[in-house]
C-alpha cells in the first residue's frame, strides 16, 4: 500500500520545479530592481502609475460584467440542458462545450469581423460581447455538471410539501447548484482580467486589459515590473480561491469530456 503512494513522487518533483518554483520567481523578480537588489519600488510604482491603475480598474469592471453576463445567459441554458424533460440529447450538450476547443484567437478575430460587417464600432460593448462568446461555454459546463448530478428527489420533495415551482428553484435548485456557479466564476473571472490579445482584437487596440500590460512589460524587457504586476494578480487569485474554498475545483472539473 505504502509503496504505491511513492508513485506520486515524480509528479511532486515536477510540480515543485515547474509550478512552485516559477511562482517563486515572480516573487523574486517583483522584489528586485534591474541589478538584483531588493526593492519595493516595483510594487509602489504600480500604485502610483495612473495608467496601470485605471487599466486594472477597467479590467476588474469588465471581468465582473462579463462574469455576470455569462451567468445570466449561461445559467438558464445549463438548467435546460440538465433537465431531462426539456432536453434528452447528449449531442446538444456537446454542441455547447465544443467552442471551447476551437482556437480562441481565431474565434475572436471572426467575432471582430462580424461586428465590422454589421457596422458596429469596436469598443467596450463589442469587447464585452466578444468576451462573453469566448467564455460562455466555461460557465455553462460546470453549472450543467452540478445540476445534472443533483438528486432530483429534493425538488420533488419540496413540491410535495407545497412549494411553488418558483420556490423550489429559489430554495432548492439554486443553492444546490452554487458550487457549479462558483467554478464557472473561477473559469471566467480571472481569465477575463488577465486576457491579452483578445481585448486588443475586439477593440482594435483601443482598450487594454491587465494581461496586456503584463505582456507589454515582459516583452519590453521590463521583467521586474512585469513580475510585480503578475504578483498583484496572483494575490487576487489567492484571495478569490480562499473565499470560494479551493476544494470545489476538483469536483467540477473532473471529466470535462
Partner 1 sequence: MQAKKVFAKAYLWLVLIVLYAPILFIVIFSFTEAKSLGNWTGFSTQLYQNLFNGSMQNSSGLLAAVKNTLVIAVIAALVATILGTIAAIGIYHLRGRKKQVMTFLNNIPMINPDVITGVSLFLLFVFIGLSQGYLTVILAHISFCTPYVVLNVMPKLRQLNPNIYEAALDLGATPAQALRKVLVPALRPGMISGFILSFTMSLDDFAVTFFTRGTIGLDTLSTYIYADARKGGLTPELKPLMSIIFLIILIVLLAINIRQSKQEANSSKK
210-229 binders of partner 1 (CB under 8 A):
211, 214-215, 218, 223, 226-227
State the residue for C-alpha cell 455569462.
Answer: 70
Among the listed residues 190, 206, 216, 222, the single contact to partner 1 using CB under 8 A: 190
- Sign of the Cα pseudo-torsion (133, 78, 72, 180, in order): negative
Which listed range, 38-46, 90-98, 143-151, 156-164, lies at the site for partner 1 (CB under 8 A)? 90-98
Among the listed residues 45, 68, 87, 159, the single contact to partner 1 using CB under 8 A: 87
118-147 binders of partner 1 (CB under 8 A):
133, 136-137
CA 175 and chain centroid, separation: 21
**What SS3 string covers 152-213?**
HHHHHHHHHCCCCHHHHHHHHHHHHHHHHHHHHHHHHHHHHHHCCCHHHHHHCCCCCCHHHH
The least CB distance from residue 180 to partner 1, in Å, is 16
Which listed range, 45-53, 64-72, 142-150, 190-198, lies at the site for partner 1 (CB under 8 A)? 190-198
Among the listed residues 48, 85, 153, 160, the single contact to partner 1 using CB under 8 A: 85
36-55 binders of partner 1 (CB under 8 A):
none
Helix ranges (H only) for 31-173 are 41-48, 50-82, 90-97, 104-117, 124-148, 152-160, 165-168
Q: Does 113 bind partner 1 (CB under 8 A)?
A: yes
Amino acid at each position: 500500500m505504502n509503496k504505491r503512494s511513492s508513485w506520486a513522487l515524480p509528479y511532486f518533483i515536477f510540480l515543485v520545479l515547474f509550478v512552485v518554483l516559477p511562482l517563486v520567481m515572480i516573487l523574486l523578480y517583483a522584489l528586485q530592481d534591474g541589478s538584483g537588489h531588493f526593492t519595493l519600488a516595483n510594487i509602489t510604482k504600480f500604485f502610483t502609475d495612473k495608467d496601470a491603475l485605471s487599466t486594472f480598474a477597467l479590467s476588474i469592471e469588465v471581468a465582473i460584467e462579463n462574469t455576470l453576463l455569462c451567468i445570466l445567459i449561461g445559467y438558464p441554458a445549463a438548467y435546460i440542458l440538465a433537465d431531462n424533460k426539456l432536453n434528452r440529447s447528449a449531442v446538444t450538450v456537446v454542441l455547447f462545450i465544443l467552442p471551447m476547443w476551437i482556437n480562441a484567437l481565431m474565434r475572436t478575430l471572426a467575432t471582430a469581423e462580424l461586428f465590422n460587417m454589421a457596422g458596429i464600432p469596436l469598443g467596450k460593448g463589442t469587447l464585452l460581447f466578444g468576451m462573453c462568446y469566448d467564455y460562455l461555454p466555461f460557465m455553462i459546463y460546470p453549472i450543467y455538471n452540478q445540476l445534472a448530478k443533483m438528486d432530483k428527489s429534493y425538488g420533488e420533495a419540496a413540491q410535495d410539501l407545497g412549494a411553488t415551482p418558483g420556490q423550489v428553484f429559489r430554495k432548492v435548485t439554486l443553492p444546490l447548484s452554487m458550487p457549479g456557479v462558483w467554478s464557472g466564476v473561477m473559469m471566467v473571472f480571472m481569465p477575463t482580467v488577465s486576457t491579452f490579445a483578445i481585448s486588443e482584437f475586439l477593440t482594435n487596440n483601443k482598450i487594454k486589459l491587465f494581461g496586456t500590460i503584463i505582456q507589454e512589460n515582459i516583452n519590453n524587457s521590463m521583467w521586474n515590473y512585469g513580475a510585480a504586476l503578475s504578483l498583484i494578480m496572483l494575490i487576487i487569485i489567492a484571495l478569490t480561491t480562499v473565499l470560494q474554498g479551493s476544494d470545489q475545483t476538483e469536483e467540477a472539473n473532473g471529466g470535462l469530456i
